[in-house]
């Protein structure tokens, strides 16, 4: 595998002399080989990160990533790019904090600018009771060694003066919790960076290749059927987000997952006005401003099951209502576009990462509405799980068996907007 | 936006309704002998078909009554509406994309 050109100011200048027409491709588009050591189903951020860490941390480079569309074209390119680790329970706090630590070095690690911007993240409280809930979460985070602090009204005002601080507001602001290390990242760049890094280590990234079935005999997986033929592998990792249930069905077992549309929107671009991420569980919106100047906002899921990547206007309308309630200054902004993605929602709002009833078949799913922020650690622990056929201590608690043992990790509250 | 034909009130806007998820889940009767896996299947495992889904809805801001609906999760088309306790109409019963 020829080493990739290192992206730097020097390679940029060098390529400027040839009018940027001679950049090498960031990853190859090989024909699928008949057999691999490991197949990853799903070429989103999580799947590509899994392949990257399989190659880098575990030396397993005979790997294919099969993607039915194009890489990063699903939820990786549809989320609202928020990164944070302020989760209540120990299991999730450690998993998401591991991700945040990986995020902090990711651009250097991948030699690809993922534009990770730790601009801080505010969770607003609109009542004394909500303030107490936030305090509990902040103390729990501090006990886990994760940065988080409580802000009173004046501190919130100093940090984000354009919020609606009127005492006559329908949802008056009492205070907030703040994670200074939280922020946003460029979602496409995460997929591209991991794809380039995995490809450089020998991973085959195969797009337009949909998995249509599994080859399973005696309870063991031997390969997958795809729209581009049969591909053999004794280990298969599935990271298919909204389509996880469909693939589990093909493999012959059930998941506690429901697929719902989750919608998001961007406004027309404006000059810098919002330099942090603001979330409110009570009025149900989260918003940040992209480097292009658009406000990026999202809310909760549509209530019904769907695979259509679109939801109802009612949910979008509620989201804009919440935004304008919090930020009256945004009321005359125009909406540039809205869209939906299909998220895999688990009963306890926590992911499922681990082995399945089929030997050699591993699932990483159930990230629901908040998977983007976990991309690095999701791939990291899933690679470990596949390579060693057992979970890493970070994802031990996230197995499918928790639904029969009763050890649920209920993160509905800590998910910061009520799902 | 869905236009949902409430069997009691006629077609109404989706915003008047609440979605109650998968229909026809029967609570096990032999609960004293149920295994943990069977409890998990009853409590948490759900059909999540890419195709026809049988689900419960409630006309929350209308007659406040529950009913069943057969709907495509791909096109969102509503294929049948029927009352609680009734079996799915023959026209959709065979169309369920997946086994349990």
Tell whether A338 lies on the interface with B, counting CB pairs under 8 A.
no
pLDDT of residue A415: 55
The partner residue sitting opposite A245, judged by closest CB among B40, B48, B74, is B48
- Which of A245, A305, A342 to mutate: most B Cβ within 10 Å? A305
CATH number, domain B3-25+38-98: 3.30.2270.10
Tell whether A319 lies on the interface with B, counting CB pairs under 8 A.
no
The partner residue sitting opposite B45, judged by closest CB among A254, A303, A307, is A254
Chain B (20-39) residues lying within 8 Å, Cβ to Cβ, of chain A:
21, 36-37, 39
Tell whether B55 lies on the interface with A, counting CB pairs under 8 A.
yes
pLDDT of residue A127: 93
Q: Which residues of B are less than 8 Å from A243 in CB distance?
A: 50
Tell whether A276 lies on the interface with B, counting CB pairs under 8 A.
no
pLDDT of residue B98: 46
The partner residue sitting opposite B74, judged by closest CB among A245, A255, A308, is A308
Verify whether the Cβ–Cβ distance B48 to A257 is below 8 Å.
Answer: yes
Distance from CA of B77 to the nearest CA of A (A): 11
Q: Are A260 and A245 in contact (CB under 8 A)?
A: no
Tell whether A321 lies on the interface with B, counting CB pairs under 8 A.
no
Which pLDDT band holds residue B100 (cuts at 50, 70, 90)? very low
B71-90 pLDDT per residue, tens: 999 999 999 999 999 999 98
Q: Give, for all 419 residues of chain A, the pLDDT tens digit.
A: 556 889 999 999 999 999 999 999 999 999 999 999 999 999 999 999 999 999 999 999 999 999 999 999 999 999 999 999 999 999 999 999 999 999 999 999 999 999 999 999 999 999 999 999 999 999 999 999 999 999 999 999 999 999 999 989 999 999 999 999 999 999 999 999 999 999 999 999 999 999 999 999 999 999 999 999 999 999 999 999 999 999 999 999 999 999 999 999 999 999 999 999 999 988 889 999 999 999 999 988 999 999 999 999 999 999 999 999 999 999 999 999 999 999 999 999 999 999 999 999 999 999 999 999 999 999 999 999 999 999 999 999 999 999 999 999 998 865 545 44
CB pairs under 8 A between A and B: 66
Tell whether B64 lies on the interface with A, counting CB pairs under 8 A.
no
Which chain B residue's Cα is nearest to A256?
B45
pLDDT of residue A414: 59
Verify whether the Cβ–Cβ distance B48 to A259 is below 8 Å.
Answer: yes
Tell whether B40 lies on the interface with A, counting CB pairs under 8 A.
yes
Whole-structure pTM value: 0.95
pLDDT of residue A282: 87
Verify whether the Cβ–Cβ distance B53 to A305 is below 8 Å.
Answer: yes
pLDDT of residue A7: 95
Verify whether the Cβ–Cβ distance A249 to B98 is below 8 Å.
Answer: yes
pLDDT of residue A52: 98
């Amino acid at each position: 595998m020829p080493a990739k050109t290192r992206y730097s100011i020097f390679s940029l200048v060098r390529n400027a002399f040839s009018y940027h027409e001679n950049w090498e491709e960031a990853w190859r588009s090989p024909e699928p080989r008949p057999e691999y050591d490991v197949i990853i189903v799903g070429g989103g951020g999580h799947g590509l990160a899994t392949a990257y860490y399989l190659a880098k941390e575990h030396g397993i480079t005979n790997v294919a990533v099969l993607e039915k569309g194009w890489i990063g074209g699903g939820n990786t390119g549809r989320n609202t790019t928020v990164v944070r680790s302020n989760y209540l329970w120990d299991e999730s706090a450690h998993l998401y904090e591991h991700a945040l630590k990986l995020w902090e070095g990711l651009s250097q690690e991948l030699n690809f600018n993922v534009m990770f911007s730790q601009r801080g993240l505010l969770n607003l409280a609109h009542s004394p009771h909500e303030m107490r809930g936030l305090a509990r979460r902040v103390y729990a985070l501090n006990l886990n060694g994760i940065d988080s602090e409580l802000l009173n009204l004046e501190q919130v005002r100093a940090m984000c003066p354009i919020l609606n601080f009127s005492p006559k507001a329908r949802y008056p602001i009492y205070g907030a919790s703040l994670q200074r290390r939280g922020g946003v990242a460029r979602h496409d760049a995460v997929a591209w960076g991991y794809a380039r890094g995995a490809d450089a280590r020998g991973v085959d990234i195969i797009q337009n290749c949909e998995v249509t079935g599994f080859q399973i005999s005696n309870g063991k997986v031997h390969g997958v059927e795809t729209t581009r033929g049969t591909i053999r592998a004794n280990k298969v990792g599935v990271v298919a987000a909204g389509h996880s249930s469909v693939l589990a069905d093909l493999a012959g077992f059930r998941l506690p997952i429901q697929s719902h549309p989750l919608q998001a929107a961007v406004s027309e671009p404006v000059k810098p006005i919002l330099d942090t991420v603001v979330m409110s569980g009570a009025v149900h919106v989260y918003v940040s401003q992209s480097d292009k100047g658009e406000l990026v906002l999202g809310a909760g899921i549509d209530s019904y099951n769907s695979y259509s990547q679109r939801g109802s206007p009612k949910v979008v309308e509620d989201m804009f209502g919440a935004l304008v309630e919090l930020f009256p200054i945004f009321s005359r902004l125009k909406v540039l576009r809205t869209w939906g993605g299909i998220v895999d929602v688990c009963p306890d709002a926590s992911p499922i990462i681990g082995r399945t009833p089929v030997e050699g078949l591993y699932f990483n799913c159930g990230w629901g509405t908040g998977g983007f922020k976990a991309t690095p650690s999701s791939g990291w622990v899933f690679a470990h799980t596949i390579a060693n056929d057992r979970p890493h201590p970070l994802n031990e608690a996230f197995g499918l068996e928790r639904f029969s043992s009763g050890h649920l990790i209920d993160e509905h509250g800590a998910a910061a907007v009520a799902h | 936006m869905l236009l949902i034909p409430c069997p009691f009130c006629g077609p109404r806007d989706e915003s008047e309704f609440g979605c109650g998820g998968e229909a026809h889940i029967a609570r096990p009767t032999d609960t004293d002998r149920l295994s943990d896996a069977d409890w998990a299947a009853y409590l948490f495992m759900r059909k999540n078909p890419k195709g026809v889904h049988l689900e419960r809805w409630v006309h929350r801001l209308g007659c406040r009554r529950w009913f069943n609906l057969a709907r495509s999760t791909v096109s969102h088309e509503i294929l049948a509406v029927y009352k609680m306790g009734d079996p799915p109409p023959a026209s959709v019963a065979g169309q369920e994309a997946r086994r349990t």
